[in-house]
């Protein structure tokens, strides 16, 4: 058996790693931890709405691919170490693109038996605006998805 764990560095993804490691040990399964590089746009602050393009240029910061890769690699290193502390050997892979698309594609293409993901529990309002990776994985995946809170 092979399990895939999708992480983002949150406490919820740490719990997903812990749960997946327990399941992998019990099922004598291999564990691969993934993070999908999808550079973010950050608002550097201010409570007032952006009045125009020049205002947006002063407030919005686009994360570079290199920065996103570096962050992803760091998250994966920490996650693999966390899994190994539970006694499970884990591999990692850095993916590129929207995690709701890349993770189910890898799970199906590489014949994984299940996907584990943490759920942040965003409010309904935030989830409508930002979407939920966990929900997207459940809807898109062709293999079972375990959502860990």
The string of pLDDT tens digits covering residues 26-58 is 999 999 999 998 876 555 555 555 555 455 555
How big is the CA angle at 111 (ends 134 and 105), to the nearest 5 degrees? 45
Task: At 5, list the tokens.
Answer: 């764990």
Q: What is the rounded distance in angstroms from the CA atom of residue 11 to the CA atom of residue 52?
A: 36
Candidates 82, 143, 77; CA nearest to 114 is 143
Question: Span 94-104, mean pLDDT?
Answer: 94
CB atoms within 10 A of CB 45: 6
Least-confidence region, from 81-85, 122-126, 145-149: 122-126
Q: Stretch 55-80: mean pLDDT, rounded?
A: 79
Per-residue tokens: 144: 């079972």
Examine the pLDDT at 92 and tell me if it is beyond 70: yes
Domain that holds residue 129: 2-148
Give the DSSP H/E element, type plus range, for residue 143.
Answer: none
CATH number at residue 49: 3.40.50.620
130 pLDDT band (50/70/90 cuts)? very low
- Do residues 46 and 58 make contact, with C-beta atoms less than 8 angstroms apart? no
> 46: alpha, beta or left, given left = phi > 0 and alpha = psi -120 to 50?
left
**CA separation for the pair 70, 110 (Å, rounded):** 25
Please name the residue ranges forming H helices in the chain.
11-27, 53-59, 65-85, 99-109, 124-130, 133-140
In total, how many domains does the chain have?
A: 1
Tell me the backbone φ, ψ of residue 45, rounded to 5 degrees: 125, 175
Query: pLDDT > 70: what percent of the chain?
Result: 77
């Amino acid at each position: 058996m092979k399990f895939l764990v999708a992480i983002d560095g949150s406490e919820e993804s740490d719990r997903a790693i812990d749960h997946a490691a327990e399941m992998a040990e019990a099922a004598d399964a291999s564990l691969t931890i993934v993070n999908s590089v999808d550079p973010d746009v950050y608002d550097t602050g201010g409570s007032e709405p952006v009045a125009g393009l020049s205002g947006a240029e002063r407030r919005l910061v686009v994360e570079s691919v290199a920065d996103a890769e570096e962050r992803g690699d760091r998250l994966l290193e920490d996650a693999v170490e966390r899994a190994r502390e539970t006694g499970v050997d884990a591999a990692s892979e850095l993916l590129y693109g929207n995690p709701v698309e890349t993770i189910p594609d890898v799970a199906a293409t590489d014949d994984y038996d299940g996907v584990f993901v943490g759920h942040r529990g965003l409010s309904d309002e935030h989830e409508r605006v930002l979407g939920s990776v966990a929900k997207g994985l459940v809807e898109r995946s062709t293999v079972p998805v375990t959502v860990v809170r």
